[in-house]
Structure 1
């Protein structure tokens, strides 16, 4: 497939071009979590909020509010199609058939996303989504994708068609060079995790096809469900921070708050097995999570490293598995935070043969336009945008993270959670994207 990305970007100025065209244009882990939430916590009221951690970029000064509202309104018109439902019902995911229950798919087919609220404050959009947890949770990916893409489109609109051609040529050449380096080094376990912070859907699709072509079987697939369906790729993903954040917010005692992060895993393994048993330990700190984890957690397939220094996190996990009498060489360590080719190569060199390795390559896979702009080399530098659950039944939802620069929630609640969970292993890391 050969796409003229420059022409498509240039033509977009003169017609409506929806950013999200399918409910499946989301990350696979959202559907997996949604099914578990639908079964256990469907009606719990929650609120998700958009957070721009790149505060120097005043999004409300860049993105037209009417355009933003039009894109959000379009998502609310989308429904799961019969073809998409049949594919979800009949496809094999992670080696398992029938992973999605018929009753869940029937419910999902009738889902209309709840409405949103939008305000402009100090040059930023305050965008919130409230409603029953099972219904509102899908907004996370769509919201970040839309805002990120509209910001990029605003930058592209200032370029001529020839300048756009130069921009895309530079970005595509850069990505191909990265893929060359990975292929030459024999790195395996690469997956696309770029949906939320991609340049746009077409560039993500080009990047995925390029990786598939250059890396072959070393490219595991994509987190984007729509692209997985379209191109016959493996849909990649497990679970995320919102699960322990919500269950901890629902807890009434300190003991129940600490145990909520393990209750999540117990509920998960009641629904999923095998390669889907990959846990994310850093919502309130990896070190405290591993220290208090029940022994059965060590039998899981592996863990995902998010905000901790990846080398430190891998070494900590290896020692933990050894202390629990498990062989780390049989366990998966999946890296997923702000990766780029140099990080992947260094991690592979340091850890190959000591554990199984996976690399969820995100922003700098399908949104690396740094220095590619023909006139303003910093105009399209990637943002750090997130959409996090911020309230549960009127209570604040808190994430601490292994990175002390990335907590979310009111300051007094963050302090309370730190007293409860401790700060062992937490450190500062610069936020890339």
Structure 2
């Protein structure tokens, strides 16, 4: 736990200080989804692109584009180590050993290759796109976001001397400790780290995860970062994301197929995985319509992750739906994960503990909360709302509607068509935190 973050931050003077040093340095759900894509959708062609939800921050003026290109090329050159592949093959995930098939791991070792990228600057923003076969492209998302986030951090640290860096990290450590102190001893509280994509830096991320692990005991259930789980013998946490229903929806041939595509994703997922990995993410096209139209077998799934809806309202909606479908609520999982900080986590725990198996996936405000920590009072270290989203699947435009109008992505005419098919019941218009 004794790590001189200030000195490490001060000494970024190598020709290239790699931000991503292992292909396992990604969210665990990306590997689960990769195997799913490899099994069911090999050959599908996709495009992803990075977007900045805060365009007033001219990101391309804060990072060196040539260094960004070098960081991305470094990741393209990485391969999984034998020890990492052995861990994936033999470790127990969610109580199951051998969750990754030998043929998939063989493909990862011998055939997987991140494709090239298109990098440019447009109106002060980084334009970064990835295209190719879905199974080869999908892992770019987390690598790209964590690289951009840490490069922004390095810009914010520029010119600070070692004493100022000491002050910065002392303030951030104090804030982290204050948050941990509020959570220690809270009966039944369950928290996991979900903070890879917008972390301050890899070193800070590792420091935070170790601090949580060493002080919170069983309250801290694990990390979504596969490399940190591998390195520190922790549970790897994660299931699936919006990318899957977005792709299947884009490939639908008519409005009825479009409406049913959100459940086709689940049928295939259920064929691939089971048990604790059967966690719903219902908000890609609106949670309320998802529940209303869902087949009865969907209610038998293990739990639900809340993303874009008010988590208090979303939790109550899920509980009501489970009761209507004759399910035993107390056996189900409810995971909140969007823009959480300590206040909301504790309030959600108080609301749902004892009614359902509640846990929180704590992201950006766990691994990148340097607000007001800068020794010169500058705001450049505040986290930035970067996303990397699916844009096309087999040449067709992809859309995400969400439970929040502010989070919708896609071409305007396609967004309008999707809203006509899925409706807008239960959708709100609220600010996006991160």
TM-score normalised by L of structure 1: 0.99
> What is the distance in 2 between the residues matched to 1:218 and 1:349?
15
> What is the distance in 2 between the residues matched to 1:303 and 1:392?
26
**Could you say which residue in structure 2 is the equivalent of 1:241?**
242
Cα displacement (A) at 1:184: 3.7
Cα displacement (A) at 1:248: 0.5
**Could you say which residue in structure 2 is the equivalent of 1:222?**
223
1:52-75: per-residue Cα shift (whole Å, max 9, x none)? 101111011111110100000000
> What is the distance in 2 between the residues matched to 1:265 and 1:145?
28
Deviates more, 1:322-331 or 1:221-230: 322-331
Question: Secondary structure of 1:196's partner?
Answer: coil
Task: Give the 5 Å matches for 1:359-378.
Answer: 359-378=360-379
**Could you say which residue in structure 2 is the equivalent of 1:317?**
318
Cα displacement (A) at 1:185: 2.8
Task: Give the 5 Å matches for 1:103-252.
Answer: 103-110=103-110, 111-252=112-253
> What is the distance in 2 between the residues matched to 1:399 and 1:78?
31
**Residues 349, 359 of structure 2: 8 Å contact kept:** no
> What is the distance in 2 between the residues matched to 1:13 and 1:258?
53
**Could you say which residue in structure 2 is the equivalent of 1:387?**
388
Do residues 298 (structure 1) and 299 (structure 2) align?
yes
**Residues 188, 353 of structure 2: 8 Å contact kept:** no
- Work out the number of aligned pairs and report it: 433
> What is the distance in 2 between the residues matched to 1:184 and 1:25?
31
Task: Give the 5 Å matches for 1:257-272.
Answer: 257-272=258-273
Cα displacement (A) at 1:411: 0.9
Do residues 404 (structure 1) and 402 (structure 2) align?
no
**Residues 59, 126 of structure 2: 8 Å contact kept:** yes
**Could you say which residue in structure 2 is the equivalent of 1:52?**
52
Deviates more, 1:350-359 or 1:225-234: 350-359
**Could you say which residue in structure 1 is the equivalent of 2:75?**
75
**Could you say which residue in structure 2 is the equivalent of 1:352?**
353
**Residues 370, 377 of structure 1: 8 Å contact kept:** no
Question: Secondary structure of 2:79's partner?
Answer: coil
**Residues 44, 133 of structure 2: 8 Å contact kept:** yes
Question: Secondary structure of 2:70's partner?
Answer: helix
Question: Secondary structure of 2:391's partner?
Answer: strand
Task: Identify if the C-alpha distance between structure 1 residues 71 and 312 changes in structure 2 by more than 3 Å, giving closer, same or farther.
Answer: same
TM-score normalised by L of structure 2: 0.99
**Could you say which residue in structure 1 is the equivalent of 2:284?**
283
Task: Give the 5 Å matches for 1:26-45.
Answer: 26-45=26-45
**Could you say which residue in structure 2 is the equivalent of 1:96?**
96
> What is the distance in 2 between the residues matched to 1:125 and 1:383?
13
**Residues 223, 237 of structure 1: 8 Å contact kept:** yes
**Residues 13, 157 of structure 1: 8 Å contact kept:** no
> What is the distance in 1 between the residues matched to 2:47 and 2:151?
23
Task: Give the 5 Å matches for 1:1-20.
Answer: 1-20=1-20
Deviates more, 1:110-119 or 1:28-37: 110-119
Question: Secondary structure of 1:13's partner?
Answer: coil
Unaligned runs of 5+ in 2: none
Cα displacement (A) at 1:188: 1.9
1:179-232: per-residue Cα shift (whole Å, max 9, x none)? 110114335220000000110111010100110111101100000000000000
**Could you say which residue in structure 2 is the equivalent of 1:342?**
343
1:255-291: per-residue Cα shift (whole Å, max 9, x none)? 1111111010110011111111101000000000011
Question: Secondary structure of 1:140's partner?
Answer: helix
Question: Secondary structure of 2:344's partner?
Answer: helix
> What is the distance in 1 between the residues matched to 2:181 and 2:341?
13
> What is the distance in 2 between the residues matched to 1:291 and 1:189?
29
